[in-house]
């Protein structure tokens, strides 16, 4: 095992550029060191996190930020979004995060915040708020990943990439979209991955959730390779480079990375069990067994790995979780004819049964234990307007997330 890992690196060590060797920003080999939340719905708006921004349109509701800005026009879109950027997350949030034991945030940013493209309806003005956020991070001892959450053409067609596509047609690798992506990544890395933020920014994530089950996986790998070299060698930055698993199984990337001198790389896994009927059919014990297995496997990966998104959701009931105008598989109102249960009251804790609360707490504790087998976890997301299963702050308040974070009502579920 050890020999397998060391040999290719030793073989290459004579030929590699000294500047990039051993540079790392943080040591992710320490299990469970990252306890974080995503700052979702801030610089990339999402209908399920901030429905009020979208509901304001009445009958003709846009699906995503692209259509939101397209409908409003630049002036009005800027006015509303600027108001949102200045109020959705404030210093008080960072103070609360630190107070409940969190030490990490992942901050999604769309390419349009960094690079204005001709013909795009998107508006800019996010970066001063991001700069301010990083100052608050420093003040409250919180480390940050800056994550390129949407790229030109969209890397997955999800509304959270800025642009939702209803049919599978992703334009990331068409025209000069990839070139523009490198340009945006370079601006982001230079500004946030260097000396100015070296005490706060712990990593740059090359792209969020590229749809590796549909897009050409080799082109994604090439983007990872080029992006990595751009950051570490061309720009000569110390920051760690974060790569999402592209929806490939655990260990998929091991052989690929063993070929290269990649230091300071973290593989980012996102773990949800509610986006298919098979997963929704699981009992709570099956949900828990599944994450425990993932935790055990994580420890065997070639590179540092971390769970950069997960939630408390045991259903896909949350309003607009599957997109504007879409229902839920759980109650057979979207892409399913099997009804697993009712979605009524999903966001109203006063209607939850004791069993629902117990299962949710069990699921949260098991996930923390499992993901701590890697470098740790980053919950999706810190706050929402009204999506309880996805709202860390409210889950803490309702006693469903342990306080302190290490407290366990269901200890040792995974038996590690």
Ligand X SMILES: *[C@@H]1O[C@H](CO)[C@@H](O)[C@H](O)[C@H]1NC(C)=O
Q: Which residues are catalytic?
A: 209, 309
Question: In this complex, which beta carbon is closest to ligand X, that of residue 186 or of residue 367?
Answer: 186
Phi, psi angles (nearest 5°) of residue 73? 85, 160
Question: In this complex, which beta carbon is closest to ligand X, that of residue 168 or of residue 176?
Answer: 176
**120, 165, 190, 254: which one binds ligand X (CB under 6 A):** 190
Judged by CB under 6 A, does residue 196 bind ligand X?
yes
User: Min. distance of Cβ 150 from ligand X in angstroms?
Assistant: 19
Q: Please give the helix or strand (H or E) that residue 167 lies within, else none.
A: none
CA distance 265 to 263: 6
Question: In this complex, which beta carbon is closest to ligand X, that of residue 79 or of residue 176?
Answer: 176
Contact 150, 111 (CB under 8 A): yes
Contact 193, 201 (CB under 8 A): yes
CA distance 194 to 42: 23
Contact 359, 341 (CB under 8 A): no
Contact 121, 159 (CB under 8 A): no
Question: In this complex, which beta carbon is closest to ligand X, that of residue 26 or of residue 201?
Answer: 201
Q: Which span (82-90, 190-198, 265-273, 305-313) binds ligand X, by CB under 6 A? A: 190-198
Judged by CB under 6 A, does residue 194 bind ligand X?
yes
Judged by CB under 6 A, does residue 236 bind ligand X?
no
- Strand-pair category, 201-205 with 34-38: unpaired
Instruction: Say which residues have a Cβ less than 8 Å from residue 406's Cβ, sequence separation at least 6.
Output: none
Contact 286, 355 (CB under 8 A): no
Q: Which span (147-155, 187-195, 254-262, 351-359) binds ligand X, by CB under 6 A? A: 187-195
User: Min. distance of Cβ 191 from ligand X in angstroms?
Assistant: 4
User: Min. distance of Cβ 179 from ligand X in angstroms?
Assistant: 4
User: Min. distance of Cβ 237 from ligand X in angstroms?
Assistant: 10
Q: Which span (4-12, 40-48, 191-199, 362-370) binds ligand X, by CB under 6 A? A: 191-199
Question: In this complex, which beta carbon is closest to ligand X, that of residue 179 or of residue 406?
Answer: 179
Question: In this complex, which beta carbon is closest to ligand X, that of residue 4 or of residue 196?
Answer: 196
User: Min. distance of Cβ 382 from ligand X in angstroms?
Assistant: 26
Instruction: Indicate the length of the chain as a whole number.
Output: 416
Neighbour-count burial for 118-129, b at 16+ CB within 10 Å, e otherwise: eebbbbeebbeb
Judged by CB under 6 A, does residue 174 bind ligand X?
no
Instruction: Say which residues have a Cβ less than 8 Å from residue 262's Cβ, sequence separation at least 6.
Output: 228, 241, 303
User: Min. distance of Cβ 196 from ligand X in angstroms?
Assistant: 4
Judged by CB under 6 A, does residue 176 bind ligand X?
yes
> Cα-Cα-Cα-Cα dihedral of 217, 218, 220, 224, to 10°?
140
Sketch the per residue contact string, 253 through 292, with ligand X: x for CB under 6 A, - otherwise: ----------------------------------------
Helix (H, G, I), strand (E, B), or coil: what is residue 240? strand
**21, 179, 198, 412: which one binds ligand X (CB under 6 A):** 179
User: Hey, which bits of 19-117 come out as E strands?
Assistant: 34-38, 104-110
CA distance 19 to 14: 13
Helices (H) then strands (E): counts for the chain? 13, 8
Q: Please give the helix or strand (H or E) that residue 63 lies within, else none.
A: none
Question: In this complex, which beta carbon is closest to ligand X, that of residue 90 or of residue 174?
Answer: 174
**23, 31, 80, 191: which one binds ligand X (CB under 6 A):** 191
Q: Which span (62-70, 97-105, 152-160, 186-194) binds ligand X, by CB under 6 A? A: 186-194
Partner residues linked to 307 by β-bridges? 269, 377
Phi, psi angles (nearest 5°) of residue 147? -120, 120
Question: In this complex, which beta carbon is closest to ligand X, that of residue 131 or of residue 286?
Answer: 131
Judged by CB under 6 A, does residue 198 bind ligand X?
no
Q: Which span (188-196, 345-353, 369-377, 380-388) binds ligand X, by CB under 6 A? A: 188-196
Q: Which residues bind ligand X (CB under 6 A)?
A: 176, 179, 190-191, 194, 196
């Amino acid at each position: 095992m050890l020999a397998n890992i060391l040999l290719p690196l030793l073989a290459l060590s004579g030929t590699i550029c000294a500047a990039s060797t051993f540079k790392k920003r943080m040591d992710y080999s320490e299990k469970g060191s990252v306890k974080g939340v995503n700052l979702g719905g801030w610089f990339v708006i999402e209908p399920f996190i901030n429905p009020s921004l979208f509901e304001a349109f009445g009958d003709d509701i846009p699906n995503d930020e692209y259509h939101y800005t397209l409908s409003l026009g630049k002036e009005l879109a800027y006015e509303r979004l600027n108001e949102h950027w200045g109020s959705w997350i404030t210093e008080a949030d960072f103070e609360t995060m630190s107070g409940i034991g969190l030490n990490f945030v992942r901050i999604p940013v769309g390419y349009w915040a960094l690079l204005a493209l001709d013909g795009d309806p998107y508006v800019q003005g996010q970066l001063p708020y991001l700069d301010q956020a990083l100052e608050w991070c420093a003040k409250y001892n919180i480390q940050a990943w800056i994550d390129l959450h949407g790229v030109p053409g969209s890397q997955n067609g999800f509304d959270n990439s800025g642009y939702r596509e209803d049919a599978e047609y992703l334009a990331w690798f068409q025209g000069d979209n990839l070139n523009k992506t490198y340009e945006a990544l370079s601006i982001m890395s230079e500004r946030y991955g260097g000396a100015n933020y070296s005490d706060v920014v712990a990593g740059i994530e090359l792209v969020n959730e590229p749809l590796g089950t549909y897009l050409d996986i080799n082109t994604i790998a090439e983007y990872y390779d080029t992006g990595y070299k751009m950051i570490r060698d061309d720009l000569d930055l110390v920051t760690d480079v974060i790569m999402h698993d592209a929806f490939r199984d655990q260990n998929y990337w091991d052989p690929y990375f063993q070929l290269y001198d990649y230091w300071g790389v973290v593989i980012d896994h996102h773990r949800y069990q509610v986006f298919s009927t098979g997963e929704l059919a699981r009992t709570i014990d099956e949900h828990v067994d599944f994450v425990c297995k993932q935790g055990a496997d994580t420890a065997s990966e070639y590179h540092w790995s971390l769970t950069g998104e997960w939630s408390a959701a045991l259903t896909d009931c949350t309003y607009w979780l599957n997109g504007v105008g879409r229902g839920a598989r759980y109650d057979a109102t979207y892409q399913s004819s099997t009804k697993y249960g009712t979605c009524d009251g999903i966001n109203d804790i006063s209607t939850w049964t004791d069993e629902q609360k117990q299962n949710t707490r069990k699921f949260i504790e098991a996930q923390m234990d499992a993901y701590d087998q890697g470098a740790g976890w980053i919950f999706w997301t810190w706050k929402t307007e009204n999506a309880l299963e996805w709202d860390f702050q409210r889950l803490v308040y309702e006693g469903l997330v342990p306080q302190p974070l290490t407290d366990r009502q269901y200890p040792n579920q995974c038996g590690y």
